[in-house]
Structure 1
Amino acid sequence: MDASKVKYIVIHCADTPPELDIGAAEIDRWHKQNGWDGIGYHYVIRRSGVIESGRPLDINAAPGWQTVTGAHVAGMNSQAIGICLVGGRHGKPDFSGQQRESLWLLVETLKRIAPEAEVVGHRDLDKGKTCPGFDVRAWWANRGQHGAG
């Protein structure tokens, strides 16, 4: 994916209860059970704050490197990077402090690579969604205050 084509960094949630700590492998399995090719997100942030890779993403990939378009926001996947926070059951932003810090660091890093990309929640691009349960645009606009939700 060419960094100049990245229009969105999209934040999602897994819609899982607080006691369920899953990662990219479990989401990959769930998505395959739905008949999809596999995990739709490029990154998953576990409850512990550990950032796991989902679909391969290599901005400005050299020939021979694999980059796979995400499958996380209808009609915009070719221009979006998807990040999934574990948790957020029923639209409640119950993310851990470690997750909030990791989200901040990951988005900050991705913005250095794709500075023109807008940081949004899934709900900002799909009016039928409530994910991730907080106003991502406001969170990023107030980036002097770390945290999600």
Structure 2
Amino acid sequence: MKRSYPGVIIHCSESHFGNAQEIELWHRQRGWDGIGYHLVILNGHVENNTYLEFMNGQIEMGRDWDKAGAHAKGYNDYLGICLIGNEQFSTRQYEALQTVLNSLVQQYDWTKENILFHYEVSSKSCPNFDKEWFLENFMPALV
């Protein structure tokens, strides 16, 4: 049976490089049962000092979609999406996020209220870019 979600929470890795496999390792080192995010959007820096242009904006599967997330205390019934990076993200990453969110909005009949940024539910600044700016520039139909 397909799990339904009340919404999605957008995060960033707060790292220069990474991928779903790397985050899996980081989360297991914290004692978690695996990666907490359902999707990871790459920036091309899959390893330290290694940039692969074709990986910029690629989407990787993380946590199984049938499992609750482990990414935002009190909101783990939401999908979790993580963009690799800290404060600067590529246009390809934003476009990939736009594609995913448009699909989720259509699939679950969501509005912009179902799209949360981590800083809206915790004292963090993650994902380190403004939600209204993103929605206005990449998802104007929701604004």
TM range (shorter): 0.7 to 0.9
Root mean square deviation of aligned Cα: 1.7
Mapped to 1, the partners of 2:99 and 2:24 lie a distance apart of: 23
Gaps of at least 5 residues in structure 2 are 44-55
User: Which residue is 1:8 aligned to?
Assistant: 7
Secondary structure, aligned partner of 2:79: strand
Q: How many residues align?
A: 125
Per-residue deviation at 1:45? 0.3
| Residues 115-149 of structure 1 deviation map (CA, whole Å, 9 limit, x = unaligned) | 236111000111x110001122452255239xxxx
After superposition, residues 1-149 of structure 1 pair within 5 angstroms as 2-3=3-4, 6-17=5-16, 20=17, 22-47=18-43, 48-57=56-65, 67-78=66-77, 80-88=78-86, 92=87, 94-116=88-110, 118-126=114-122, 128-142=123-137, 143-144=139-140
The list of structure 1 runs, each at least 4 consecutive aligned residues, that deviate by more than 3 angstroms after superposition, is: none
Give the aligned residue type for 1:37.
D
Note the alpha carbon deviations across 1:18-64, whole angstroms, 9 max, x for none: xx2x110000001001111110000000011110000111xxxxxxx
Q: Distance in 2 between matches of 1:129 and 1:49?
A: 24
* Alpha-carbon distance between aligned partners in 2 of 1:103 and 1:114, rounded to the nearest angstrom: 16
Q: CA deviation at 1:112?
A: 1.1
- Counterpart code for 1:14: S
Q: Give the drift of 1:100.
A: 1.0
The percent of aligned pairs where both chains have the same amino acid is 38
In structure 1, stretches of 5+ residues that fail to align are: 58-66
Whichever structure has more strand as a proportion of its residues is 2
Q: Is the 8 A contact 2:7 2:115 kept in 1?
A: yes
